[in-house]
Amino acid sequence: MKGDVGHCYRPLGLLSLGVDVRLFGADPRAVHLENLLWAAAGAGLFALLARSAGAPVVVVWGALLLTSCHPIRSEAILSGVGREELMEFTFVAAALLAARAYLAGGAPRWAAASGLLVALGLLCKETAFAAPGVLAALVLVTRPGPSDAGWRARVLRLALAWALAFALVFAARRFVIGAFLSGSAPILPEENLLAPLPRLERLRGALSLLPLTLGLLAWPARLVADYSSNALTAAELTSYAPVGALLLASLVALSLALLWKRRLGGFALAAALAFYVPFANLLFLSTSAVAERILYPCAGGVALAIACALAWVAARGRAFAALAFAVGLGLAAAGAWRIATRVPEWRDDESLFRAAVRDRPGNARAWINLAVLDLSRHDAVSAERDAAGALGADRRVTGYVRSMAEHARRIGRPEEEAALRRALAASGR
């Protein structure tokens, strides 16, 4: 049915979760198992893509290990709603692998298969719209010498197959949500603090957030499921724009230089940048200022870049090879440990929201969710405390707390109503 109020059109992800419920009921174990299978498939296909692009076997295995153990992937795997990221990355990696097979001299059916696979990725998550950038990097890093006369023709036919896939998906999105990219629903300031800012200030804020997001990709010591409301500090939104601009320019320049020399590390960096930059609020607004799930496909590029760097170090000599091997294993072990320490945070809603306000106290939405859980348990003391936390974090949630108090009055819970009123009074609302 046609509509004009949505942001997203992700039918395959929803279909996948619906099939799980139909087959296994509301059993989270089935969701988690299928998530693990999708994550493994995506990591394996991306490693095969690196191999097809000329990566040595040791780099391929290193990239596979580091991708699988990258902590930024944990949210998408551990949460049910992360299925879309897992499927999108898997389909895009498969599409790129099929594209490489065709460019290497394969039959035309490989180009058709590549177009079909990228269309499936587009029907899973909007981050697949970055796939042409990754394809362009793949073409550059694997381009043959001038003697291959059929290369340009194959590239053109492949581009046409992808263009057809994009056109069909764009048409479906236009019919369902009323727009080619996103529907007309506004992006709320509570969801993305950059939304109400003028264009130049928004660009400054997006650049300021680059060090944070690059840090999450380099070593995500602190992982947070939700960056809405005032979860981000004023410094993170304003103070690091020069640093972010320098980092972005440096990474783009390094990637282009390596691609020009046909170095696989250039493709790895380009893949990570292509998956991230379009959704970093630099060109247009995203639904959130920062979202770790959006960084999921970037992890493959980062892992491959690290594997390439370690291989370069290992080539310096036997001692350097031992050092590179130790560093690679250490990174994988540290990543696996970080994932293991995060698993308890996703045990239930209470654990998830407590972790969110612990790491980002300005996240008023998480405080509100905790207050709702408290009320469901008839715990007026905790509801007052968590409602006060929400009001202290962001005054824009005042209406929510008032509505909760009014609802408690209507259903005959005077103790809980009084607790919420006290929280409002203490905050001066």
Range of the domain at 376: 349-426
Quick check: is 2 in a domain? no
Do 204 and 248 belong together in one domain?
Answer: yes
Asked whether the beta carbons of 177 and 8 are under 8 A apart, the reply is yes
Spatial separation of the C-alpha atoms in residues 26 and 80, rounded to whole Å: 11
Spatial separation of the C-alpha atoms in residues 52 and 63, rounded to whole Å: 13
- Does residue 206 register a pLDDT over 70? yes
Q: At which of 346, 377, 393 does a domain end?
A: 346
Q: At which of 319, 346, 373 does a domain end?
A: 346
- Does residue 188 register a pLDDT over 90? no
Do 230 and 359 belong together in one domain?
Answer: no
The number of CA neighbours under 13 Å toward the Cβ of 124 is 27
- Does residue 4 register a pLDDT over 80? no
Spatial separation of the C-alpha atoms in residues 354 and 308, rounded to whole Å: 38
Do 329 and 359 belong together in one domain?
Answer: no
Do 261 and 381 belong together in one domain?
Answer: no
Quick check: is 4 in a domain? no
pLDDT-derived band at 245 (thresholds 50, 70, 90) equals: very high
The pLDDT of 239-252, averaged and rounded, is: 95
Do 267 and 380 belong together in one domain?
Answer: no
Q: At which of 320, 346, 372 does a domain end?
A: 346
- Does residue 322 register a pLDDT over 90? yes
Spatial separation of the C-alpha atoms in residues 111 and 98, rounded to whole Å: 7
Spatial separation of the C-alpha atoms in residues 324 and 314, rounded to whole Å: 6
Quick check: is 338 in a domain? yes
Do 268 and 327 belong together in one domain?
Answer: yes
- What tens digit of pLDDT does each residue of 101-130 get? 999 988 999 999 999 999 999 999 888 999
Quick check: is 123 in a domain? yes
pLDDT for residue 376: 92
pLDDT for residue 141: 94
Dihedral sign, CA of 331, 333, 334, 335?
positive
Quick check: is 1 in a domain? no
Do 338 and 357 belong together in one domain?
Answer: no
- Does residue 347 register a pLDDT over 80? yes
Do 72 and 215 belong together in one domain?
Answer: yes
Do 164 and 251 belong together in one domain?
Answer: yes
CA–CA distance from 385 to each of 51, 226, 266, 381 (Å)?
54, 20, 51, 6
Give the amino acid at 107: A
The pLDDT of 7-20, averaged and rounded, is: 87
Q: Which of 76, 99, 98, 79 is nearest to 87 (CA)?
A: 76
Q: Give the angle 71-295-80 at the CA atoms, nearest 5°.
A: 70
Do 170 and 200 belong together in one domain?
Answer: yes
pLDDT-derived band at 429 (thresholds 50, 70, 90) equals: low
- What tens digit of pLDDT does each residue of 54-112 get? 999 999 999 999 999 999 999 999 887 789 999 999 999 999 999 999 999 889 999 99
- What tens digit of pLDDT does each residue of 150-177 get? 888 999 999 999 999 999 999 998 888 8
Q: Which residues of 287-304 are buried (b: 16+ CB within 10 A; e: fewer)?
A: bbbbbbbbbbbbbbbbbb
Do 46 and 155 belong together in one domain?
Answer: yes
Percent share of the chain, pLDDT over 70: 97
pLDDT for residue 208: 95
Q: How many domains does the chain have?
A: 2
- What tens digit of pLDDT does each residue of 363-420 get? 999 999 999 999 999 999 999 999 999 999 988 899 999 999 999 999 999 999 999 9
Report the CATH number at residue 397.
1.25.40.10
Quick check: is 241 in a domain? yes
- Does residue 289 register a pLDDT over 70? yes
pLDDT for residue 385: 95
pLDDT for residue 6: 55
Q: Which of 103, 119, 88 is nearest to 158 (CA)?
A: 103
Percent share of the chain, pLDDT over 90: 71
- Does residue 287 register a pLDDT over 90? no
pLDDT for residue 7: 64
Phi, psi for residue 304 in degrees, rounded to 5: -65, -40
Q: Which residue has the higher pLDDT, 284 or 296?
A: 296
pLDDT-derived band at 183 (thresholds 50, 70, 90) equals: low
Asked whether the beta carbons of 173 and 166 are under 8 A apart, the reply is no
Q: Which residue has the higher pLDDT, 51 or 189?
A: 51
Q: Which of 396, 27, 361, 34 is nearest to 196 (CA)?
A: 396
Spatial separation of the C-alpha atoms in residues 299 and 69, rounded to whole Å: 10
Quick check: is 150 in a domain? yes
Mean of per-residue pLDDT scores for the chain? 91
Asked whether the beta carbons of 134 and 274 are under 8 A apart, the reply is yes
The pLDDT of 414-429, averaged and rounded, is: 89
Do 323 and 418 belong together in one domain?
Answer: no
Quick check: is 178 in a domain? yes
Name which of 18-22, 180-184, 303-307 the model is least confident about.
Answer: 180-184
pLDDT-derived band at 140 (thresholds 50, 70, 90) equals: very high
pLDDT for residue 185: 61
